[in-house]
Structure 1
Amino acid sequence: MLAGRLADRALGAAAALREGTGGGTAVRLGVDAAVPADGEHVADAVAAALDARGAAVLRVRARDWLRPRSVRLAAGPRDAATAWTSEVDHLGLLREVLDPLGPGGAGTWLPALWDEAADRAVRAPRRTAPVGSVLVLDGPYLLRWETADALDLVVHLLVSDAAVHRRLGGDAAVRRTGAWAIYREETDPAPRADVVLRAEDLRRPALVLGDAPSAWA
């Protein structure tokens, strides 16, 4: 099972943290996905596998780190450039989650910063992570310059524009495919990930890069 193999890989690194041979408080695992539901699906499966193995899991979702609607939709619902530059608060994730859990960090983290439905900030208290825990983060554009070096293990989902249009439809699909094209052009994310899955159909993912089997079940 792929989720289990990914969990085992993260737990190996987490053991080094507990033994004092690795830096930081938590292993920071990211699932990089164009379609939000795909990223959440994979990240939830990995988090469940970690939980079943008795790991301390810190779950963070990019939808809880969006920028205000007036910022991310400033140029309209179909604008790809604004989606690429201003959809997710990557610097906020770095400041409040990734850096504090990494080498030299305080070991505290925020689970959320923004309520998308209410379009306002969330007053979530900071939490303290136990040494050797595993952060599981899903979101788009995780291998861009703000966050790439702050992740210890990255799973990148490859998906065609046609699949994005099937899953999202309408303006959201136009916006995301355009932004994802910019992401690919500027950062070339797939070769820099630890595991790459072709995710046209998440019931039958195909392993492109990595050492884990390609089946979820």
Structure 2
Amino acid sequence: MRPTTWPRVAAGLAARLVDHPLADDAAYLSLGIDSPDAAAPGELAAAIAAELRPLGHAAFIVPTRGFLRSASIRFEYGKRDPDAYLDLWTDDAALFREVFNPLLKTGSGEVLPDLLDPVTNRATRSPYVALEPGTIVIVHGPALLKHWFPFDLTVHVQLSDAAFLRRTPEAEHWQLDAFRRYREEYAPHDAADVVIRADDPKRPAWSA
């Protein structure tokens, strides 16, 4: 792990994406940022998108928060169940259908940015977005590397337990048990192409 800065992380990942070859069956590239909300993955996604523009590539950002299952499924075992958070909250099938399948050469190239508002528990009714050729799709959210999504490049943002608790609202501290199980069962630090240690929000370190 080498000390770095967030601008260098964003620039390095953007350059790596631009140089990444397309898979034989794909028409677009995809990046997965596996990160708890406490590490602000949306900010990293936006920074990478900004770096991609002058390199001639548009970016389309998809937070997995827009693809949660309905409250009746998420909260079947209560609103603070760590196993449900890890296993039931994200709608894998919807993400494959609305985000990943359109990226294939046989796909439509039209991606849905979100499906369900997790606050109102109602459909967002967002329109499909037709991606320009060369667009790079950036998906970010927690525990992404347990879902076997077909990313071209994956980033795991790592927080120690202490950092997670410091940077997470107290009402969400129960999620720590889910992230501990995620680390133990899925070893995202080994599975990811790039690992970023973000205990200090201003002084990251990474393995790239």
**Alignment TM-score > 0.5, same fold:** yes
CA gap of 1:126–1:77, structure 2 versus 1, over 3 A, is: same
**Structure 1 counterpart of 2:161:** 161
Cα distance in 2 for partners of 1:87, 1:132 equals 31
The one-letter code matched in structure 1 to 2:126 is: A
Instruction: Answer yes or no: is the 8 Å Cα contact 2:39–2:159 preserved in 1.
Output: no
User: Which of 49, 52, 68 is equivalent to 2:51?
Assistant: 49
1:9-35 Cα deviation digits (max 9, x unpaired): 11122xx55xxx854121100100022
CA gap of 1:37–1:204, structure 2 versus 1, over 3 A, is: closer
Instruction: Answer yes or no: is the 8 Å Cα contact 2:33–2:155 preserved in 1.
Output: yes
- Which stretch shows the higher mean deviation, 68-77 or 159-168? 68-77
Cα distance in 2 for partners of 1:154, 1:36 equals 18
**Identical positions, percent:** 36
1:141-187 Cα deviation digits (max 9, x unpaired): 1111442xx1010110111111111111324121x211112222222
1:78-120 Cα deviation digits (max 9, x unpaired): 2101101112212211121012213543322111111123221
CA gap of 1:146–1:64, structure 2 versus 1, over 3 A, is: same
Cα distance in 2 for partners of 1:160, 1:35 equals 14
Instruction: Answer yes or no: is the 8 Å Cα contact 1:198–1:206 preserved in 2.
Output: yes
1:122-145 Cα deviation digits (max 9, x unpaired): 112222222321001110111114
Cα distance in 2 for partners of 1:60, 1:141 equals 15
Cα distance in 2 for partners of 1:23, 1:122 equals 30
**Structure 2 counterpart of 1:119:** 121
What do you get for the CA RMSD once the two structures are aligned? 1.9
Cα distance in 1 for partners of 2:183, 2:93 equals 20
Secondary structure of the corresponding residue to residue 163 of structure 1: helix
Instruction: Answer yes or no: is the 8 Å Cα contact 2:13–2:48 preserved in 1.
Output: yes
User: Which of 8, 18, 30 is equivalent to 1:11?
Assistant: 18
- Residues 69-88 of structure 1 aligned to structure 2 (within 5 Å): 69-88=71-90
CA gap of 1:118–1:52, structure 2 versus 1, over 3 A, is: farther
Structure 1 stretches of 4+ with a deviation exceeding 6 A read: none
5+ residue gaps, structure 2, are 1-7
For normalisation by structure 2, the TM-score amounts to: 0.88
The one-letter code matched in structure 2 to 1:32 is: D
Secondary structure of the corresponding residue to residue 51 of structure 1: helix
